[in-house]
Amino acid sequence: MKNNKIAAGLTAVLALMLAAGAAQAKPPFGSKPSQPEGQPTIQKGMFPSLPELPKSTCTVKLGGNMEALTPELRSFYDNSMILYHDQEQLRERVVNIANFLNTSASRLGMLETIDSDLLKAETALKKIQQGAVTAQAIPQAREKAAALEKRVTPALQKVTAAREKMDAIVAKTKPLREKLAAAGRAANTADTAMAAIDSVLLRVPLACRVAAACDNFPGSLTHIDSFSALAAKIDPDIQEYDRVVKLLLEGTTLPSIDFFDPFSTQLEAGDALREELEAILKEIGRLVEQLDRLNAVLDRSFSFSFPYYNPTFTDPGRVSKYTVSVSFRTIMNGTKAIEDKIESVLSDYLWGILKGLGLSGYVNDLKNAAKEAADELLRSVGFDISVDIPDFGALDAFTKAIPDLELAVGRVNFPDISLNRPDLGMPGIRAGVNITGIEAKINELFPAGLSRPFKCNPAPCNFDNFPQR
């Protein structure tokens, strides 16, 4: 009954973790976690650092003490290592799955990048179109601005149609990208959980052999009986957990994830389209800035000052200056419009003085200043810039491929795992193998660490024929 509950619990946890993996995940993605050959290597940092102790010699021969292991410890020893090696194979598969899912999600994100680029291009072309229309109010820019408007209008229509089509593609593929990304995160979580379990399993062999050696040393901190009792209690769970891992490795629970292949060709075409769009954006972006500066001339005003007699009793010969400003738009309407504007802002007294000084000369000065300002900016405007927009036929291929992609991604079932066990990154492990309990018990039975289990010789022990930490 107990084993049935354990099996159910472990199967549920691992099925959630690995339900949509890749039994045949592609080799380019991921790399296998380091896998020792033969005896496992105890890694650095696995034990807490201890203060320096008196130097002495403590040599414990573990190489030949396998016969000292109780049957419970020997079984615990062997089954822990079997589980470790099986789970490392499973981790290799999960790492490939995680990398493949995460890469696939990122690739789909490129579609949203294309959509953003199309929106930028559409916005820029609208500004160019409006800027070309506005620039036609400048006489010397009128011809080139009209030609630019004529070229940019069909380009804008083409980009708008492509952007609307891309909006529809993104609306359908964004949920697929988010699902793949969530599955990738869940696969990463599963890998982290199994790595945490493996780090504990790696301590079991040395713990078993040190426990067997302890009884041969007077004043040892622990004895074989207590560790044998722990082994007898946990070993069945270890075996059941390994059975579930083997089912995942050898069965058909982990399907292939070749579903992304049908979309790869389209994505390559999308990459080329995105690069072309970004190059175009740089060019038309500069034209937008140039037209903005040119059209800003239309909102400028140009001024002149003229002297007038302004005597006082203390300074009967005083002369002052009066400044008049006229907008560019008024200047572009010709001499009469300029003169009418000047007259409207002057009193009869000043208007009479200005006419006496020579009104036409001041009007011509305004015309020349406005023309010079416009000409200077016109020299920097690239009216002849290419607004050729690439062919968006590749988008049709995306649209056609979406149904197959939706069907395939719909079969991916690698949900996020609730992290109610932050130390392992995995829930429900207590229902099966209490890995944290194993580690806690090892630490309890060997409070000074596995390299200092003996009171008689407090210096670190050099275990013969066994990998060191």
290: left (phi over 0), alpha (psi -120 to 50) or beta: alpha
pLDDT 10s digits, 372-384? 999 988 888 888 8
Q: How far apart are CA 453 and CA 448, in angstroms?
A: 6
- Predicted confidence at residue 65, as pLDDT, reads 64
Q: How far apart are CA 190 and CA 414, in angstroms?
A: 10
- Predicted confidence at residue 75, as pLDDT, reads 92
Mean pLDDT confidence for 29-41:
41
% of the chain exceeding 90 in pLDDT? 29
| pLDDT beyond 70 at 332 | yes
Q: Which of 68-77, 168-177, 281-290, 427-436 has the lowest mean pLDDT?
A: 427-436
Q: Which of 70-74, 114-118, 125-129, 157-161 has the lowest mean pLDDT?
A: 70-74
- Predicted confidence at residue 45, as pLDDT, reads 40
Cβ contact 327:300 at 8 Å: yes
The CA-atom distances, in angstroms, between 335 and each of 322, 357, 369 are 20, 17, 14
Average model confidence (pLDDT) across the chain: 76
Q: When comparing pLDDT for 12 and 370, which is higher?
A: 370
Q: Describe the chain by its helix, strand, coil percentages, rounded to 5.
A: 65, 5, 30
Mean pLDDT confidence for 279-308:
91
Q: How far apart are CA 437 and CA 441, in angstroms?
A: 6
Mean pLDDT confidence for 6-30:
37
pLDDT 10s digits, 403-447? 888 887 877 765 333 333 334 333 333 334 556 567 777 777 676
Q: How far apart are CA 149 and CA 404, in angstroms?
A: 42
- Predicted confidence at residue 170, as pLDDT, reads 93
- Predicted confidence at residue 215, as pLDDT, reads 62
- Predicted confidence at residue 404, as pLDDT, reads 81
| pLDDT beyond 60 at 184 | yes
Q: Kindly report the pTM of this predicted structure.
A: 0.66
Q: When comparing pLDDT for 268 and 192, which is higher?
A: 192
- Predicted confidence at residue 43, as pLDDT, reads 42
| pLDDT beyond 80 at 76 | yes
Mean pLDDT confidence for 189-197:
83
- Predicted confidence at residue 244, as pLDDT, reads 77
- Predicted confidence at residue 388, as pLDDT, reads 78
Q: How far apart are CA 105 and CA 188, in angstroms?
A: 14
pLDDT 10s digits, 394-403? 788 888 888 8
